[in-house]
Structure 1
Amino acid sequence: MHTVELLPSAALDSRVRELWALLLQAGLPSLATHAHATNRPHLTLVTAASLADLPHLPLPIVASLTSVRMLGRALVWAVDPSPSLSALHETAWSSVGGWPPPDEFVPHISLALRVPLADQPAALDLLSATPPMSGSFDAARTYDTETRTTRNL
């Protein structure tokens, strides 16, 4: 499988890493502990078997990060599904298929994965005062789940 990931501007990337560090310092699950070389803040636009038909993605795209919340067992910083972001997702999904379809697209940047139920209230409380932040997604890459490598798009 291959992902299409949007990469945030330097300011957004830095702020996400600060939140990762806050979680780690509090002894809570955090992507700060994910040691793989490809680990970095990103928004997964779509996952598909092949990206052969993926068109050029018009970037940068303005983004607003809103609230920190749980998405299943993942702690995420929600990204406003603006018309331009939704249109970009629709374009990518229409060309390569995969997941998620437009009616299931929930844009976000992950802060921690597989957060135990017992830790979820503390993680949410720690980051509950995180103010919204505006910025942009300036670049895109793909991650190959078989080779565990990335390539710029």
Structure 2
Amino acid sequence: MDAASDAAVRASWRALADAGLPSLADHAGETNRPHVTLLAADGLGGSADDAVRAIVASAPLPTLRLGGLVVFGVPPRGLVLARQVVVERTLLDLHARMHAAVDAAPVDPDPDADPVAVVPHTRPGSWTPHVSLALRLTAEQLGAAVTALGRLDPLDAPAAGLRRWDPRDRTTTELA
């Protein structure tokens, strides 16, 4: 996201933290920043990265429209509170092209490399685009979180880049 959109999402994170609620503001890692996950998979890298770079080079990244709140999860495991991203054709096309490119990417010839295993809920037809605000909320905290956030007007958030997160190494690779 661009700087203004990033700051707006971080303000929501801060409002939750200031209210004593779980918030992504509590995540101190240098790679933590507001984002939308388009694809999650184990074993990405190499030719998959090249395929994604080619897609992103072929068209500008879309502007995302952040809408109202959405909740994922089931108590007692913990709830995720997020801003929904309004689905529009450009975003759906980018998402579908990225998945198709990763699916078609050559397998890593390294025998020690992990096979690419895409997380099913990030696949086209199963994906709900969103920007997370808080993780591990209890049902009791949910109402307080909505109150702490107050009114959230729609926000146009130009995408400012694309990166791949490697959970094993806890690093990011900039792809666009």
- Normalised to the residue count of structure 1, the TM-score between the two structures is 0.89
**Percentage of pairs with the same residue:** 34
Alpha-carbon distance between aligned partners in 2 of 1:86 and 1:69, rounded to the nearest angstrom:
19
Alpha-carbon distance between aligned partners in 1 of 2:141 and 2:167, rounded to the nearest angstrom:
28
Aligned to 2:44: 50
1:21 to partner: Cα distance: 0.5
Aligned to 2:21: 28
Return structure 1 stretches of 4+ with deviation > 3 angstroms: none
Q: Which has the higher strand share?
A: 1
SS in 2 for 1:44: coil
SS in 1 for 2:148: helix
1:43 to partner: Cα distance: 0.6
SS in 2 for 1:102: coil
Task: Point out the structure with max Rg over C-alpha.
Answer: 2
Aligned to 1:144: 166
1:90-129 correspondence to structure 2 within 5 Å: 90-97=96-103, 98-99=118-119, 100-129=122-151
Count the aligned residue pairs.
Answer: 146
SS in 2 for 1:103: coil
Letter in 1 for 2:6: D
Letter in 1 for 2:10: R
Alpha-carbon distance between aligned partners in 1 of 2:171 and 2:27, rounded to the nearest angstrom:
15
1:152 to partner: Cα distance: 0.6
- Normalised to the residue count of structure 2, the TM-score between the two structures is 0.78
Q: 5+ unaligned residues in a row in structure 1: which ranges? A: 1-7
CA RMSD of aligned residues (A): 1.4
